[in-house]
Amino acid sequence: MELTDAIVVVTGGASGIGAALARRFGAEGAAAVVVADLDAAGAERVALEIGSDRPRCRAVARALDAASRDQVHTLVEEVTTELGPIDLFCANAGIGTGAGVDAGDDRWEAIWQVNVMAHVHAAQALLPGWLERGRGYLLTTASAAGLLTNLGDAPYSVTKHAAVGLAEWLAITYGERGVRVSCLCPQGVRTPLLFGSLADGELAAEVVKAQGVIEPEEVAEAVVAGLAEERFLILPHPEVARYEQARAADHDRWIGSMRRLQARITGDR
């Protein structure tokens, strides 16, 4: 993927990984970067930063609820009309719960809509134009939890597995027709999700932090490299590949090791 002169949309772009991606795409010479987020003021701040640092890049902020089909479709239509065909769409918005299977139906529904259906809405809105054009690139932000699991957060683990599965299906189904898909699966990253919405002391947050936390800019660096090579899996934490291989090689042994890790962190040993 060539980022120079590309028109890029980043959802969840007001902070964390999304903001780092948006800034980096501007630095890479994108013609336009659309920063979309439920936090409209935060999206505006990031867009202003990009425009100030990279005046040749048209940085635009948009208020967006990524879980809303209508809003996602409207965003794609407006960007295409105002800026031109979207070259790269980063479906990056995501939430966690820190809850187990006993989470209420409302929490399960909310995280399903953001972590899974937002990607479905994006694909539905983008595919007709991309297939007609013969090219387009979707970057799905999932998580290492989508390849492994996230101790202490059942809804997050389940929905991130679904996000990886959807990205893989899209890559297989439309790859021969010019649509490229990459799936970003980081572990711990210094973002509001890890250090804000998931409170300190919660198992889900503590497990991730125990594995090592990197900065959002490091994730953006890995993404640029992965897009250049058009790799499906983009793993800012290289050890995730080893964990995934160990899981596939002996699932029972891997489950046992995860039980021991959980016991060590919770003190239940």
Which residues have a catalytic role annotated?
Answer: 156
Residue pair 184/163 in contact (Cβ under 8 Å)? The answer is no
Find the Cα–Cα–Cα–Cα dihedral 126, 129, 133, 135, rounded to 10°: 10
Residue 259 to residue 255: CA distance in whole angstroms: 6
Six token digits for residue 147: 């390849």
Give the separation between CA 76 and CA 122, rounded to whole angstroms.
Answer: 8
Cβ neighbors of 102 (< 8 A, separation 6 or more) are none
Q: Which residues contact 188 (CB under 8 A, 6 or more apart)?
A: 194, 208, 209, 211, 212, 213, 214, 237
* CA-closest candidate to residue 87, choices 158, 178, 153, 176: 178
Strand, helix or coil for residue 45: helix
Paired residues of 138 in beta bridges? 89, 181
